[in-house]
Structure 1
């Protein structure tokens, strides 16, 4: 067992089910301040998942844990899905989850957004924390689904008026007008004694150590070449074979970017560097260069701070270069949006084999 897996296993052993806390609470409910504190942690955790394109789809007290410090953790991602799994209409279509916590649009079987459906479940959880019972609970599933789709519920008298308003805005049956996480974060009831989530920089690397970002050796660093080789190299030769086309290894990732991506180019290394700089600056990024390493620093403050990207050019064969980009700070979804605009400005330097060019011409 790896150290990472061992740490995760040990952490789970030290955790307790959040639902057991409710069972031990007076009347099965928490005081409003306690409920707010756990709800704040829940929203932070769900927001973190969404920022990485992960939708839980089965949020409920039974899937929440408390560590030894009383910090809430989300568990059981068995029904979760990824941003890349949405259909062409931008929606999810698999109906899943626990009936009492599931959003109305999931039941309608017309497609739903993972973010808004998770927010609905968070609203139900908040109601349970403060009320000690479910807002939607019927022995008959049809009656239960009817109440959920119409959002037929009422808050008990001990809920504060501001808490009632927040819950009603979250448990809005219309996902288009339902409260979003950014709106929840700005809500006055929510912000009381709120402690923003602290996110560590995933890779706080300076220009002198960009190699550590990509975990590559210095042997692969680009060296200046004044002359282009006249003979066809093995990498280029393989690329012309349809069955051994290595182009797919790199270019397919341009449409499926995570936190790191790469592309190949047959242009000179200094031209690649200049093109990256010229493309990044209009997008609002400050560029720091050293040799064939670059750090792109966004000037706008996003949801997880300033977006920063480490870039490095490697030589994989004479006249063939590989460019690697990796997010070293900021939000992953913002990195995706940046790369979509960024890659469109690099189309003229991205290497395409003759077969690919011919296919594009035909289409």
Structure 2
């Protein structure tokens, strides 16, 4: 049992219990360094191992590290002790969408906004080869602004899980939200199955109740397989048509996400440029390599050896090198030289370097093709006289684009100021 006020890894303070499942509990937490509210999921290692769910847990961590999107709950960090695993995740202050729906159906505009955000998040997951397979209001959270956040990738599958025929075969999900082809156990397309579940969620948002329901599970499955449902009279004609194409029992004929997004009802209220990002830090002072005064004003933050050790946590055991969000290195170059190189790299990527706080910079820009803000945080720490530790991490923007930037542009360009690249492997070697 975790007590309120306890601190884990000298980094996160525990608060009240938010919920619990079969293998762990979720607590309200606080990042002691930044003062940021987080949620901390505490999993019992022994229970996971006894249930032979170790691989599933690793897969969930890997997936959450892969799907960085404004409408997916963000995984900040994974840590472990001998008996517990700690998931530090984004805190969605608005709670479960399910709780909101217990008060009744939503107005059309509110339902459409959440459905748009759901479809965008699911489309992003699919683009990364991730199929959720358990989409339902209980797995959708709301932030303090009422924006949707997809949660719980415990039943998700990766593209590599498909068999030679390109289909998935594991029957999973919640009965009322599951697609007919999943029930039939003859193989299914993860994309099409998720689309069906999104349709059920849309119906529930607008109606306040399920399209397919029966207390007898066999009868419920029959209704789903035959797509036996009835829209209430307040459903707009456009919604009825959209649902009829989503609830097609034949997955090969079921509407695609691209066509859902092209439908007239879905497009209502969408501007030409919608930047949906909850992580962008407020603008600071722009930094120019030609402005020596500002370069001199940028001071590195202090750091202890213990702080460096804490960075190398359990997440490195589960996340592949090409999925890691951070790039770390040491340098013996003067701070102005380091900053000047960062400005040069930012310029090559059409990103402006801005000063935020002591030892913290941000490379910011706008990706026109994706209609999203790109932000890369840079922290500079002084670990000894004339020796610095630098960390780059993505704050917002597409994860795959970010990885390409690191591999093709950022890392090669920084080589001349790097004393040594830092990572889990080098850290372990240093401990030997």
TM-score interval for Structure 1 and Structure 2 normalised by the shorter chain:
0.5 to 0.7
Aligned counterparts of 2:28 and 2:425: Cα–Cα separation in 1? 42
Q: Distance in 2 between matches of 1:66 and 1:347?
A: 36
Distance, in Å, in 2 between the alignment partners of 1:294 and 1:66 is 30
Measured at CA, do residues 112 and 271 of structure 1 come closer, stay the same or move farther in structure 2, by a change above 3 Å? farther
Equivalent residue number for residue 164 of structure 1: 240
In structure 2, do the counterparts of structure 1 residues 164 and 305 end up closer, same or farther at CA, with 3 Å as the change threshold? Answer: same
Aligned partner of 2:179 among 91, 96, 103: 103
Aligned to 1:220: 301
What is the alpha-carbon distance in structure 2 between the residues aligned to residue 43 and residue 72 of structure 1? Answer: 12
Residue 193 to residue 303, structure 1, CA distance change in 2 (3 Å): same
CA distance 1:156–1:204, change in 2 (3 Å): closer
Partner of 1:287: 352
Q: Which has the higher helix share?
A: 1
Q: Note closer, same or farther for the CA distance 1:256–1:156 as it changes in structure 2 (3 Å cut).
A: closer
Distance in 1, Cα, partners of 2:186 & 2:328:
39
Give the Å deviation of 1:340: 0.8
Larger strand proportion, structure 1 or 2? 2
* Superposition TM-score, scaled by structure 1 size: 0.56
2:256 is aligned to 179
Shift in alpha-carbon separation, 1:162–1:297, aligned structure 2, 3 A = same
* 1:21 alignment partner in structure 2: 104
Among candidates 319, 328, 334, match of residue 263 of structure 1: 328
Corresponding residue for residue 227 of structure 2? 152
Partner residue, 1:340 = 403
Question: CA contact under 8 A between 2:104 and 2:208: conserved in structure 1?
Answer: no
TM-score by length of 2: 0.49
Among candidates 372, 377, 385, match of residue 310 of structure 1:
377
8 Å contact kept, 2:179–2:196: yes
Match of 2:390 in 1: 323
Question: What is the Cα deviation at residue 338 of structure 1?
Answer: 2.7
- Please list every run of 5 or more consecutive structure 2 residues that lacks an aligned counterpart in the other structure: 5-14, 17-26, 30-36, 38-90, 163-167, 288-297, 427-432
Establish whether residue 121 from structure 1 lines up as the match of residue 186 from structure 2: no
Cα distance between partner residues in 1 of 2:401 and 2:243: 34
| Residues 339/157 of structure 1: CA separation in 2 closer, same or farther (3 Å cut) | closer
Larger Rg belongs to: 1
Residue-by-residue CA offset, 1:177-231 (whole Å, 9 max, x unaligned): 6432x6545431234467979755542141479xxxxxxx955379xxxxxxxxx
Q: 1:125 to 1:272 in 2, by over 3 A?
A: same
8 Å CA contact 2:301, 2:381 repeated in 1: yes
C-alpha contact (below 8 Å) 1:137/1:144 kept by paired residues: yes
1:344 counterpart SS class: helix
Deviations 1:303-334 (A, max 9, x none): 66321223243343467543222445x44xx1
The Cα shift of 1:341 comes to 0.8
In structure 2, the residue corresponding to 1:21 is in which secondary structure? coil
Count of residue pairs the alignment pairs up: 305
